Structure 1
Amino acid sequence: MAVAVNKRSVMTLFSDSSNIYGHQIRLVLAEKGVTAEVEVVEANHLPQELLDLNPYGTIPTLIDRDLTLFEPHITLEYLDERFPHPPLMPVYPIARAQARLVMYRIRREWYTAYETIIKSSQSAEAAAARKTLQDDLTAISALFKEKPYFMSDDFSLNDCYMAPLLWRLPLLDVSLPKVAEKNLLPYMKRLFDRPAFVESLSEEEKKLRVL
């Protein structure tokens, strides 16, 4: 199998301007203070350079020297390991495994609901996904009475999953009941007020809500 060669000398992220997974990566880059070139592309008009480097022709894709990463959660962990300060994953294996399980559940349950709503916002499946997302966020809201971040005293990759999703709740037409707002809104404010989060927003994403 032939391997394409990356001709870029700087880390490059290919993504469209509203891709939620691209937003996760931009947030981690900003938290780490890593400079990367962001190439805004459309999913149905990808440049040949990207198609040559990514066998699946998907975005977001991160190019770092000879490495091409096209799976978002692998990309996030790679960035955390490549740029270890500040750390976004726990040090100890058990805690790291627990954090990975949390991220897996967020992806499997809430990001699946997100994708269902985005795909067909007026469908019965989207209505069910909205209710699932609303009910689940309400159920976990009490967690934020105990810790300032997602099950942690420190900002972590779990929060890098949560922040782009919570930022898009107006886009998804998901509203929170008062019982959930009491604890979730302060958490959301902590996330959205972080300088790295503000830096991570594309111009299109800034229009989704007011900071």
Structure 2
Amino acid sequence: MVQNARSRTVLALYSAADDIQCHRVRLVLAAKGVTYDLVQVDPAKPPEDLTDLNPYNSLPTLVDRELTLYDTSVVCEYLDERYPHPPLMPIDPLSRARLRLASVRIERDWLPEIEHIRAGGKPADAARKRLREQLLSALPLFKASKFFLNPEMSLVDCLVTPVIWRLPSLGIELGREGKPILDYGERLFHSQGYARSLTPEERALRP
């Protein structure tokens, strides 16, 4: 159960109301069934306690007792090791490396385009077109397995699914060609815990 509170207990997550990286961490926590305090932050006005904890004032920021983590990939891998069941990374090094590389590509290729789209203006149209093309070019990765490049849900799914969730709000339609991507999204949206990962603001992104 997620509690909205500013006081920290064992585990606290400082999170924006609508942010893919924050959603990514919340989805990991939901998949693990971990109870935590959710501290919702306005990125434009970070609270003093966040400034004290994180020199970059970045979100998401995770606090576990005396430990503070603020790089999203580090946070996700820490949670997967800290709460090992269910595991969200495969055992063999090759598969783990492949999934880590996929996350890097998504963060470098997809997420900047989403930032351009949300910024609006003329560059948003070009970014929308590029993101749509990148998603469709990744179709084989969505078809390769039940989940993204893996037979079981992984940390990469916790990054990909928030992107797919936001496509309607970004004005991106994949059409019939993109049906495998949309079907993938629907499977994850109905998975155990996904609803718990959403803020009210994120729920409102889809009709």
Q: TM-score, normalised by structure 1?
A: 0.90
Q: 1:27 touches 1:197 (CA, 8 Å); kept in 2?
A: yes
Q: Contact 2:147 / 2:157 at 8 angstroms: preserved in 1?
A: yes
Distance 1:143 1:54 in 2: 35
Q: Cα deviation per residue 1:77-121 (whole Å; 9 max; x = unaligned)? A: 111111111111111122211111011001010111111212x22
CA contact (8 A) 1:148 1:154 kept: yes
Q: How does 1:92-107 map to 2 (within 5 A)?
A: 92-107=92-107
**Partner SS, residue 157 of structure 1:** coil
User: What are the Cα deviations for residues 152-171 of structure 1, in whole angstroms up to 9, with x where unaligned?
Assistant: 11111111011111101112
Cα pair 1:54 1:68 within 8 Å, conserved: yes
TM-score using structure 2 length: 0.92
After superposition, what is the alpha-carbon deviation per residue over 1:119-165, rounded to whole angstroms, capped at 9, x for unaligned?
Answer: x22222x2222111111111222433341111111111111011111
Q: Distance in 2 between matches of 1:40 and 1:140?
A: 33
Equivalent-residue separation in structure 2 for 1:58 and 1:146 (angstroms): 34
2:99–2:149 CA contact under 8 A, matched in 1: no
CA distance in 2, matches of 1:31, 1:61: 18
Q: Percent identity?
A: 44
1:122 aligns with 121
Q: How many residues align?
A: 201
**Equivalent in the alignment of 2:138:** 140
- State the AA in 1 paired with 2:181: L
Q: What stretches of structure 2 of length at least 5 have no aligned partner? A: 1-6
Contact 1:61–1:70, Cα closer than 8 Å, also in 2:
yes
The correspondence for 2:160, drawn from 162, 175, 180, is: 162
Distance in 2, Cα, partners of 1:140 & 1:8: 40
d(CA) in 2 for partners of 1:117, 1:15? 21
Q: Which amino acid aligns with 2:175?
A: P
Q: Distance in 2 between matches of 1:39 and 1:14?
A: 5
Question: 1:138·1:177 contact (CA, 8 Å) conserved in 2?
Answer: no
Which residue of 166, 191, 196 corresponds with 2:188?
Answer: 191
Cα distance in 1 for residues equivalent to 2:8 and 2:65: 7
- Root-mean-square deviation (CA, aligned residues, Å) is 1.4
The alpha-carbon deviation at position 195 of structure 1 amounts to 2.4
Q: Which runs of 5+ in 1 are unaligned?
A: 1-6
